[in-house]
Structure 1
Amino acid sequence: MDQFKNLRRLQIESREENGGVGGRQDPAAETLGGGEMEGAAADPVLFIGMKVRRRASAQRDCKGDYIGVPSDPYLTKLLAKQGDKKVLFADTVLKFTGTGKMKRRILVITDFAIYIVDPDADILKRRIALAAVDRLCLSKLSDNFLAIIIPTEYDLLMASTRKTEIVNVLLEATKSISDYQLEVVFSNSFEYNAAADMVKEINFEEVDGGIKTRFAKKEIE
């Protein structure tokens, strides 16, 4: 959790079904807004002029595995069981549940799949084939949010200080398994499927001291 320290607090507003807006603060919210984003040494052209990036984000080197997967018995056994041998990225992130709660999770990206693991219980929560990923959604601001859109399942919304590196890894990984170029969408407002039967809209706004983020439930037609 060391990478989650010393970041400025993000104010999150949750809009309930009845239309009311209530403020909510979570200790983990300190990791989300105003924090530095890790970036690959050579970022794709798609980031140029599209997103506000901090200087430190563009200058940091990429390590890939930040948690030491080979030395973790559970992760090693899990990947071996799935037949995955090449780890492209591994780190601790914050994953948003359908109800809006934030959970600390381990994110592992291999050359075939994305793994979401509960680090406290050593339980695989989700495995997503790279071929199932349709696009990535990010704001144009310097926040740490990333939405992975999976049309055949519910989507994955997370926050990471290494978001740019995650995007680059996913772009290269998906390109290597097919000729399809993964789409990256930059917008300060986008929708995602928070659960199988729940669509949410997330809005980003730059304010003094950080980024304000608002969630709103959308009616499913």
Structure 2
Amino acid sequence: ARVAGLNRLATLIQSVWKMWKVRKAFVEMKEAAKNLFAGKKERKRRSLEMGAVAFFGDFLMLKESPEMTYMRAMYGDSTCVFSDSCVKVTRKLKALDRLFVVTDKAVYHMTRLDKPKAPKGYGVPLIHDIRRRTPLELIDSVTLSELSDDYIVIGIPTEYDYVLKLDKKTILATILHDTVQKVSGRKLPVNFSNQVTYTSPKGPRTINFAKDETVPDAGGMFTKAADKRGFNILIPSGTREAAPQQQFVNQF
């Protein structure tokens, strides 16, 4: 009985230690987000108040999914660090519902299938279709506006860029910045501008961001530019968080 009790105690200590390490990592990620964003981008009130647990990242719970097993088998990816639904702006300036996934090796743009289907050369049916895979080493920047919209541009200079709208863009940018640095030692630039030029499959395009207090969508209202060479995003005012006084705060 004494041995069994000691084993239970050891298991409990290990569980508490793992939980502490995970929470510590989330808190450090939240502090990293403050350093990247504070004083540079207006934020929604609920975004400013989000807890450290938001940096869990894998919101679609893909880490143990058949899709992740497929990525391990086909590409050597080890784990999923971010997954969420998003709106993707296409080459024809259409906004389509998609999924965006970040692993330790690459980013993925996916669609949900109407019924499970096995990829070519792989015998297990999946419920998501991988439309594009981009290795992390090809990403050279992340760009957002200075306003409180939900748009993010992920720069791929050797191909074409991702233009996404998602309310977890702060978490995505922070996790991308952290993951690229961990796997390559390279600091991924995170830029802020209210006029963003990006590369689409049809050539360079421009996004113009501007405030409009009549817009009901706090994430930004999408309108095509008159010359069809880009689009405009109209956003109501947000809150600008003060720049942090120090880089990291250790709460443990």
Q: Please confirm whether the aligned pair reaches a TM-score higher than 0.5, indicating the same fold.
A: yes
User: What does residue 59 of structure 1 align with?
Assistant: 49
Change (3 A) 1:74 1:177: closer
User: What does residue 90 of structure 1 align with?
Assistant: 83
Give percent identity, aligned residues only: 30
Given the alignment of the two structures, is residue 152 of structure 1 paired with residue 155 of structure 2, yes or no?
Answer: no
Residues 3-61 of structure 1, C-alpha deviations (whole Å, 9 max, x = no match): xxxxxxxxxxxxxxxxxxxxxxxxxxxxxxxxxxxxx6322413121000122112223
Unaligned segments of structure 2, at least 5 residues: 1-28, 115-127, 231-252
1:75 CA drift (Å): 4.3
SS of the residue 1:41 aligns to? helix
What is the aligned counterpart of 1:205 among 205, 210, 222? 210
Counterpart code for 1:119 = R
**TM-score normalised by length of structure 2:** 0.65
- Kindly indicate whether the alpha-carbon contact (under 8 Å) linking 2:62 and 2:83 is maintained by their aligned counterparts in 1: yes
Count of residue correspondences: 178
1:181 CA drift (Å): 1.2
Given the alignment of the two structures, is residue 50 of structure 1 paired with residue 55 of structure 2, yes or no?
Answer: no
Counterpart code for 1:41 = K
Residues 136-179 of structure 1, C-alpha deviations (whole Å, 9 max, x = no match): 11100110000001110011100001000000000001111223
What is the aligned counterpart of 1:114 among 107, 110, 117? 107
User: What does residue 191 of structure 1 align with?
Assistant: 197
Aligned counterparts of 2:96 and 2:132: Cα–Cα separation in 1: 13
1:74 CA drift (Å): 3.5
Counterpart code for 1:207 = D
1:73 CA drift (Å): 2.5
User: What does residue 229 of structure 2 align with?
Assistant: 217
Q: State which structure, 1 or 2, has the greater radius of gyration over its C-alpha atoms.
A: 2
What is the RMSD computed on CA atoms of the aligned residues? 1.9
Aligned counterparts of 1:183 and 1:70: Cα–Cα separation in 2: 27
Aligned counterparts of 2:137 and 2:159: Cα–Cα separation in 1: 12
SS of the residue 1:141 aligns to? coil
Aligned counterparts of 1:55 and 1:116: Cα–Cα separation in 2: 29
SS of the residue 1:67 aligns to? coil
**TM-score normalised by length of structure 1:** 0.74
Q: Which is helix-richer, 1 or 2?
A: 2
Counterpart code for 1:173 = T
User: What does residue 183 of structure 2 align with?
Assistant: 177
Aligned counterparts of 2:70 and 2:109: Cα–Cα separation in 1: 15
User: What does residue 20 of structure 1 align with?
Assistant: none
- Kindly indicate whether the alpha-carbon contact (under 8 Å) linking 1:95 and 1:157 is maintained by their aligned counterparts in 2: yes
